[in-house]
Amino acid sequence: MNIHDPKVKSDSQATSSVSRPSREEAEEAVRTLLRWAGDDPAREGLLDTPARVVRGYEEWFRGYDEDPEAMLQRTFEEVAGYDEMVVLRDIRYESFCEHHMAPIIGKAHVGYIPTDRVVGISKLARVVDAYSKRLQVQEKLNAQIANTLQTVLKPQGVAVVLEGEHHCMSTRGVHKPGVSMVTSTMLGVFREDRETRREFMGHIGNPVNRL
């Protein structure tokens, strides 16, 4: 699938056409799940749980209401001709697996080589957050971050590596805690030039043979 194809809807576009339930309906859905789990949502300890869960969802999934491309619109051209690699590593992210709605906790490493402009480093972290605060699979999250940076900044290349522990694997199913999944997206010179890719991997502190 080409996510740059205008016929392909983004997550936010796809969900905008679906009417959201009211807060009251969302809270009642939580009560239903509590009853299904075998507990009584009317007992004291659970009385406020539906409201707390809905507030949590507003924070965990706020990415559906955020525009990552808009976050990158303000750039800086006064960089004295700087055209070397810019790397932001160890960006903690928190997401949720779209298959089990279980947490994905990990680190993102983002790099790009500018052409004639750079973006504030906090914006790189904000783009990671905007996409991670949606129901996700790690491979898709990786590609979304990289493709957005490449599309908006038009740099010589973009590199994104994600490491994530998937709780759908560590707390259920095969029960294998401490296992990290590693994915990468390399665009432009990072894909074409082995030495550029090797330099990026050196910056983020991972073995060069990981890719």
Residue ranges for the known binding site are 97, 100, 168
Say whether 175 is catalytic: no
Say whether 163 is catalytic: no
Q: Say which of 136, 138, 144, 150 is annotated catalytic.
A: 138
Q: Say which of 25, 99, 139, 192 is annotated catalytic.
A: 99
Calpha distance 89→91 (Å, rounded): 6
Helix 23-37 vs helix 49-60: crossing angle, to nearest 10? 110
Q: Say which of 163, 166, 167, 199 is annotated catalytic.
A: 166
Q: Are 120 and 52 in contact (CB under 8 A)?
A: no
Q: Say which of 97, 109, 150, 165 is annotated catalytic.
A: 97
Here the tokens at position 123 are: 């914006």
Q: Are strands 157-166 and 103-113 parallel, antiparallel or unpaired?
A: antiparallel
Say whether 166 is catalytic: yes
Q: Are 85 and 158 in contact (CB under 8 A)?
A: no
Say whether 109 is catalytic: no
Say whether 97 is catalytic: yes
Binding residues for Zn(2+): 97, 100, 168
Q: Which residues are catalytic?
A: 97-100, 138, 166, 168
